[in-house]
Structure 1
Amino acid sequence: MSDKKYHSVMLIDDNEIDNLINQKMIEASNICKNIYVHSGARSAIEFLKNIEKISHLDPMQILPDVIFLDIDMPLMDGFQFLDLFDKLNEETKGKCKIVMLTSSINPQDINKSKNYIYVKKYINKPLTQQNLVSLDI
């Protein structure tokens, strides 16, 4: 078991089973204290916006250090999430590092994700202990 590298991470994936497996994988890796799980990009972006509004708390203590983001989701996909993420305040964008965690092997998705400066890595599902141990962002 390694020491915790991050205070918190966030999973955003519409597949509940993937979320559960990834949550267990993150818990087993012991890389963080808190895990936020969202089954939709819209609820995740609202969560981040609400944290920015809570003035009596330090948002830096609540915001996730790493966001694992799926691409293919109904209602709002990963790229739409990234477009809205770009409108958040600078502190939020500076704190949250985004990792695309997807089953997509489409080269267009990989290239498109490189257009977003907040995306630090592109990982194909499933999330593995090796992915987490080598996560250096």
Structure 2
Amino acid sequence: MDKKIELACIIDDDNIYVNLVKKIIETKKLCDHLLIFKDGKEGIEYFEALLQNLEEKNIPEVILLDINMPIMDGWEFIERFTKIRNKFNTPITLYLVSSSIDIRDINKAKSLSTVKNYLIKPVKIDELEAVFNKSA
């Protein structure tokens, strides 16, 4: 039997999307706890602070990252996150989630080893279930 994901993270400035995904995750019991950041800067600051005090329970196993956000966008987050990712003992799986259907964004995301997959908004329930299914 697959181990349930304890902690996941959404980095997105779209409150409607965040609330919808949060509700799906809670209803489907896809993970135990959820961190939410409204931009990449808040997200990267959290991960950089984690390096100071590595507590496994505070490290998200899944990140759902938007591309277009104020202050620090998803691409900038990935650039900084890639530099620190391997310092965590827990594997962290990152998914880019965007309303962009621009093939350049999709290809750029798929070319990055840090990114597991590119999901187009609105994300379907079965796509979210696949993200949170450890055997996927």
Unaligned runs of 5+ in 1: none
CA contact (8 A) 1:9 1:64 kept: yes
SS of 1:10 mapped into structure 2: strand
- Indicate the RMSD between aligned Cα atoms, in angstroms: 1.9
Q: 1:25 to 1:4 in 2, by over 3 A?
A: farther
Aligned to 1:105: 101
Out of 37, 54, 58, the position equivalent to 1:62 is 58
- Quick check: 79-88 or 126-135, which moved more? 126-135
Please report the TM-score for the alignment, with normalisation by the length of structure 1.
Answer: 0.87
AA at the equivalent of 1:36: L
Q: 1:92 to 1:6 in 2, by over 3 A?
A: same
* Percent of aligned pairs sharing the same letter: 31
Query: Does residue 122 of the first structure (1) align with residue 121 of the second (2)?
Result: no
Alignment: residue pair count: 132
Instruction: After TM superposition, give the deviation of residue 19 of structure 1 in Å.
Output: 1.1
Using the alignment, how far apart are the partners of 2:128 and 2:30 within structure 1? 8
Using the alignment, how far apart are the partners of 1:82 and 1:43 within structure 2? 13
CA contact (8 A) 2:59 2:90 kept: no
Please report the TM-score for the alignment, with normalisation by the length of structure 2.
Answer: 0.88
Stretches of 4+ aligned residues off by more than 3 angstroms = none
Unaligned runs of 5+ in 2: none
